[in-house]
Amino acid sequence: MDNYEKAIRILTGTLNSQTSTTTTASTNVTTGKTIPVGISNRHIHLSQQDLNKLFGTGHQLTKLKDLSQPGQFACKETVILCGPKGAIEKVRILGPVRSHTQIEILASDTFKLGVKAPVRLSGQLDGTPGITVIGPNGSIETEDGLIIAQRHIHMLPSQAAAFNVQDGENVTIEFTGLRGGVLNNVIIRAKENSGLECHIDTEEANALGVKPGTPITIKK
């Protein structure tokens, strides 16, 4: 065997080894060793009462696309948020309607709007500020509901057991990649009818070079 053939065999063996490693990594994702990431921009959840005021009595939300969490969807409708210092247009509504209106913005949005918003989990709205919301048919001034979303992980109770975590537990997550790193204070949300996904916002994702679907691991 000449040196050329030896080089070809060595190179072929290296490539085969790399292919095998890639396959293993892909298998780990599908067997639950890692968790996919969903990236959220600013958005709003409306009650039917507030939806009626903004878009007209009896208005029904128009589905644009389904989201990762079962039964939830992005809508074609958008609204304008107005604060003391400015406004943000084309804020997407997420459906279905809820019992209480909730507005989730980015940390940088607080400067443009001139508001202060606490970091909270969805639904934990006690003591939160309100904001003006403008639609094509009218406007509302919410009494509360303005938050910056606390990063969290959705999963089923059975998946929480597999990951050795509990609903409400505070964990650390790790991202790989060129700008990878760790994020602390990530809350486990283990509920029935959940889709496995870690939710962070666009600012957090941009800081770490994360794209939709990027897998993360839990570091307790």
For the stretch 133-165, pLDDT in tens is 999 999 999 999 999 999 999 999 999 999 999
pTM of the predicted model over 0.75: yes
Short-list 101, 96, 93, CA closest to 43: 93
pLDDT of 6 over the 80 cut: no
Domain extents for the chain? 41-149
Q: Chain-centre distance of CA 31, in angstroms? A: 22
For the stretch 51-101, pLDDT in tens is 999 999 999 999 999 999 999 999 999 999 999 999 999 999 999 999 999
Pure H helices in 38-163: 48-55, 109-113, 157-163
pLDDT of 14 over the 80 cut: no
Q: Which of 3-17, 65-79, 110-124, 170-184 has the lowest mean pLDDT?
A: 3-17
For the stretch 168-209, pLDDT in tens is 999 999 998 888 899 999 999 999 999 999 999 999 999 999
| Sheet with strand 170-175: strands edge to edge | 37-40, 197-201, 152-155, 182-190, 170-175, 216-219
Contact 130, 170 (CB under 8 A): no
